[in-house]
Homo-oligomer: A and B are copies of this chain.
Amino acid sequence: MEEERETSSMTCVTSKDPFQIPNEAVSKPKKEPTTTTSTTKTPKTTRGRQKIEIKEIIEESKRQVTFSKRRRGLFKKSAELSVLTGAKIAVITFSRCNRIYRFGHVDALIDKYLRNSPVKLEGCSGNNVAEEESKRPWWERPVESVPEEELEDYIAALSVLRENLGKKIIAMSNDRPVEIVPAWPINMMGWKPTMDMQNMENPTDGITRCRVGQNG
């Protein structure tokens, strides 16, 4: 974000920036579409996106807004990377108040991560996986091959698979519903829409809440 690069693209902008002098004491031009002699310069209504330092945002409301916007952006980027490259991605976000926001096949990938890869979600292309695929048990088949109708069963089955991780995990997971957030949550062009993003974004924990007005 704040690399040393100072290449000014956008050389086309010829209008003088009306927001130049102090930071806050700017007399905003107020959008007036047709009244004034608005032929010389474009009467900008906002300063647009401003450069910020990457350091903790102190102001409460501001931090919440940034958290919300950027988390959305992060999940979108994750989804795009997943679709574009076929990678499996899981993102876990704990807000300052320990509200949890998840993206992707979190549970499946955590299993995979902890077990050091046994849950094979997708074969490597060009590895003539197709023939080997049929020999594999259901839970090693690509997630994509699971029909949407069977998703519930698949999820349930996955929770059974989790037993292989150890009784202790199962015990701890029992009071939390085992669910999978689809990797294709956003209904965008060319995407496989299974559930809406809202559902994915809502905090799903039963975790101690902070007082009202806290970030997260």
Count copies of this chain in the complex. Answer: 2
Chain B neighbourhood of A211, CB < 8 A: 124, 126-127
Once bound together, how far apart are the Cα atoms of A112 and B102, in whole Å?
13
Once bound together, how far apart are the Cα atoms of A63 and B126, in whole Å?
14
Is A28 in contact with chain B by the CB < 8 A criterion? no
Q: In the complex, identify which listed stretch (A19-27, A89-97, A149-157, A194-202) lies at the interface while the others stay far away.
A: A89-97
Is A182 in contact with chain B by the CB < 8 A criterion? no
Chain B neighbourhood of A100, CB < 8 A: 113, 117
Is A160 in contact with chain B by the CB < 8 A criterion? no
Are the C-beta atoms of B53 and A190 separated by less than 8 Å? yes
Is A85 in contact with chain B by the CB < 8 A criterion? yes
Once bound together, how far apart are the Cα atoms of A31 and B88, in whole Å?
40
Once bound together, how far apart are the Cα atoms of A191 and B166, in whole Å?
39
Chain B neighbourhood of A165, CB < 8 A: 166, 168-169, 172
Chain B neighbourhood of A1, CB < 8 A: 76, 80, 188
Q: Please encode chain A, from 196 to 215, with 1 for each CB lying within 8 Å of some chain B CB and 0 for all others.
A: 00000000011110110011
Given A70-B81, A87-B93, A89-B91, A114-B122 contact (CB < 8 Å) = no
Are the C-beta atoms of B98 and A117 separated by less than 8 Å? yes
Interface CB pairs A-B, < 8 A, 11: A1-B80, A12-B15, A71-B87, A74-B74, A87-B215, A117-B207, A124-B216, A127-B211, A165-B166, A165-B172, A166-B167
Q: Taking A53-B189, A85-B96, A86-B96 as given, write out 4 further A-B residue pairs in contact, using a Cβ cutoff of 8 Å, ordered by the A residue number.
A: A70-B80, A74-B81, A89-B92, A110-B113
